[in-house]
Structure 1
């Protein structure tokens, strides 16, 4: 094993095993904590906000779906721009920190508007502007943060460990935003404003705590100076689409997110109307993410043993089986649903964790081939695939169930409408996760190949210093 050190003292392991040369765990936990407010805000956007804004503020599902779709598609332009600008930023505070701080200000203000709305002000325009700002701020935080996470270590398994900390931090944040709505559902399920305020408090509070912890956790590494290319938007898209490894990762993540967001966007309706158990609507999510907290370390260990892409395939196939199992549930009976929810929780982080770790490896291969460091740009595309997946899921699933006859404002829905809700809720995610597994199966960037890439980069980067 070879160990290289940057001028900032960051270890870069070649051929590293999961227990060798690890970054300090406490610092890594502080670094990963910035994931918490982003996760805490994003899941309610897909799960609680459509239902609450439809029922409490009387916006139609079609309008909400169109707004979410438009805002996510806007990210197709904003995210690569943030990634490219972060890669080319040079300040005495680093490349990533200035973007994270600016994004935190925008994100915090927009979150307050979205989760603490005045009923007199809520219109489709209000929702659209608030979502626009939330997505912009989250992009300015998450893309540089993800790129930074790929730079603090170049080791194959250590990157999986870093993303595991991210997964656990995100799962804990999700637990926090799910516990409060679950308690509110048991006391006063009709108080949607209180539910929104509880979620918003967790998001803003975790942002205030996590921001300084992340900024002080690790120094930004000194990367080799290379000629910087300023690409037009069309050229940027071409760079992203022409990389075959990145293309596979992005399409796989796109499919993963479609599956997760379809399930997330419909689960409140499924539990409330199909199962006839409205008191369990938030509780099932809470139950799922309790197991999600331990899922990250479990899948990290699997990835250490069989490789990232094989672990991703295994996790996706588990989710296929879990979603198909929903066809066997009986309305009014919670037992099988609880078992399937537990399985979903244990598998939910597998694809996300492995694919995020793989993106940094793909960026290394790209830098070796082209001489250009485009880590943030690559992660911006990864963020884009996730946002596009959410947009397609919400923008298609909600209008589809409405077309099939389901109406969340109706006192009762027909059996045909409820069957349509079941089919979209169960079969849609199952197909999406199967597609994701097929796309990442046989991924060629293995641990051995990545070790060769890191060795070649280390040798080339050492030449100017000599």
Structure 2
């Protein structure tokens, strides 16, 4: 972490982000295109890969949990480094595009290694492939988020950008789930075939999606950078620590991501071993994300009426109730599982959409207060919470259910092991979403405050057109 923050530049001249007209819908759709293959690769990595690598290649749950924990901790270091270097990059292509373009190439190579593995995969192979994969992910995602926060200064328009991004993500998850669901229902192949077709979809979509995103909007002009004003590690950490609202967002997102990670990493195990319907695993994931796509515009309208903070809190509390209801599942109760999956899909976008949009609002408030543009730094800190949340979820959950006696390779697990699996699957996410809702209490940047910030920024610098 010290290396990541040691040379962060604090002298970027101010630029205003005054109220802007609505972004062109077609361009916004093109800008969101890269989220499709990048997000599509994430769901199988968390939800399918542990199960498949455990059952097909014999890697233990404890080893898988450790590998995923270490790889996500690596992301905690990589994200701030990429964010800082992206902020400081000066090229005729902009600050964000070069990092994203190189990241796409590395991402393709790492995805091929993970989705199309050779025979005899070892923990070392998996660890190296994930190391490269998450480096490439950081190179794409951190500049991508920072760029999205710079597209507009309007409070509600930023929510719209976030919704487009999250709907693109939901579309990605829909597409990535269609093929394995079809394989399950038609009985066409095994888990390795599922992994291969999902990887093929990611690789086929990556190049055209990157081309669309990188050409969708011009980047805002790179500010001049003076090399004389830099702060070291402790001072930079202090900047983040003193931004109470960013800390609230980071901790809330950490909780959200942990809940989603616990649920995602155990879903296939619960459906196959507890409910006894393994052929429904991919279909249930598909169902959840279909309803997630439908719910995106709904959450946007809710946020316009009651604000992002209240919307996020309501959504998190709804998810608490849904996850606790999972305790009512019994072996063979497929109808109840489907109903709760639909409810989960309708609620899933609430926290993710609102929290990411709120980062840009806090960055503007900080800009107005200090005269310093630290958007990428704040987004890199936000990304740390996402990666650390998934690391903790997988790193704790898989060894925990193994310690409770669950074995995915066993022909028959004990009733105690299966009960432990269900309790972790239901209660873990419920507690995480409750913590997220509590952490968002007292968030003070709303539409009015954001508009006030725009006016202040207009007085500070030159308007960005």
- C-alpha distance in 1 between matches for 2:363 and 2:164: 20
Cα displacement string for residues 292-340 of structure 1 (whole angstroms, at most 9, x for unaligned residues): 1112111011111100111100110111111011111221021111111
Moved more, 227-236 or 275-284: 227-236
Q: Which residue of 2 aligns with 1:386?
A: 386
Q: Does 1:196 align with 2:195?
A: yes
Residue aligning to 1:274: 274
For 1:52-71, what per-residue CA distance to the aligned partner results, in whole angstroms no more than 9, with x for missing partners? 00000111010010000001
Name the structure 2 match of 1:320. 320
Q: CA deviation at 1:189?
A: 7.2
Matched residue, 1:217: 216
1:239 deviation in Å? 2.6
Instruction: Work out whether residues 87 and 373 of structure 1, in 8 Å CA contact, stay in contact via their aligned partners in 2.
Output: no
Residues 201-231 of structure 1 show CA distances to partners (whole Å, capped at 9, x for unaligned) of: 1111221121010111000012654656544
When residues 464 and 178 of structure 1 are mapped into structure 2, their CA distance, relative to the original with a 3 A threshold, is closer
Provide TM-score, normalisation by structure 1.
0.93
For 1:79, the equivalent position in structure 2 comes to 79
What SS does the aligned partner of 1:366 have? helix
- Tell me the residue number matched to 1:144: 143
Deviation at 1:442, TM superposition (A): 2.6
* Cα RMSD for the two superposed structures: 1.9
Query: Is contact 1:47-1:264 (8 Å) kept?
Result: yes
Q: Which residue of 2 aligns with 1:176?
A: 175
Partners of 2:168 and 2:191 lie apart in 1 by: 26
Q: How many Å separate the matches in 2 of 1:367 and 1:448?
A: 16
Task: Report the equivalent of 1:126.
Answer: 125
Report whether the alignment pairs 1:26 with 2:13: no
Distance change >3 Å, CA 369–CA 81, structure 1 → 2: same
Paired with 1:440 and 1:322, the residues of 2 have a C-alpha distance of 20
Q: Does the C-alpha gap of structure 1 residues 452 and 276 become closer, same or farther in structure 2, counting only changes over 3 Å?
A: same
Helix, strand or coil: the match of 2:219? coil
Hey, what's the Cα distance between the residues in 1 that align with 2:253 and 2:335?
31
* Alpha-carbon distance change, 285 to 418 in structure 1, aligned in 2, over 3 angstroms: same
Q: Which residue matches 1:37?
A: 37
**1:133-158 CA-partner distances (Å, limit 9, x unpaired):** 11010110011011000001011000
Supply the distance in 2 between the matched residues of 1:453 and 1:60 (Cα, whole angstroms): 52
Which segment drifts farther, 299-308 or 326-335? 326-335
- The answer for unaligned runs of 5 or more in structure 1 is 1-9
Cα distance in 1 for partners of 2:161, 2:180 equals 30
In structure 1, the partner of 2:251 is 251
Q: What secondary structure, in the 3-state scheme, does the structure 2 residue paired with 1:356 have?
A: helix
Partner of 1:67: 67
Q: Once the 2 structures are TM-superposed, how far is the Cα of residue 187 of structure 1 from its aligned partner?
A: 3.2
Contact 2:16–2:462 (8 Å) recurs in 1: no
Relative contact order, higher structure (CA 8 A, sep 6+): 2
Please give the alpha-carbon distance, in whole angstroms, between the structure 1 residues aligned to 2:150 and 2:379. 12
Change (3 A) 1:255 1:463: closer
Contact 1:84 1:374 in 2 (8 A): no
**Match in the other structure for 2:4:** none
Aligned: 1:208 with 2:207: yes
1:336 corresponds in structure 2 to 336
Normalised to the residue count of structure 2, the TM-score between the two structures is 0.93
In structure 2, C-alpha distance between the alignment counterparts of 1:223 and 1:303, rounded to whole Å:
32
Whether 2:448 is the aligned partner of 1:448: answer: yes
- Answer whether contact 1:320 1:431 (CA < 8 A) is retained: yes
| Contact 2:252/2:437 (8 A) holds in 1 | yes
| More deviation, 285-294/456-465 | 456-465
1:411 pairs with 2:411: yes
Q: Deviations over 1:91-136 (max 9, x none)?
A: 111010011011111111100111111013x111110010011101
Between the aligned partners of 1:307 and 1:76, the Cα distance in structure 2 is 30
Distance in 2 between the 1:210 and 1:126 partners?
28
Which consecutive aligned stretches of 4+ in structure 1 deviate over 6 angstroms post-superposition?
none
Higher mean C-alpha displacement, 359-368 vs 147-156: 359-368
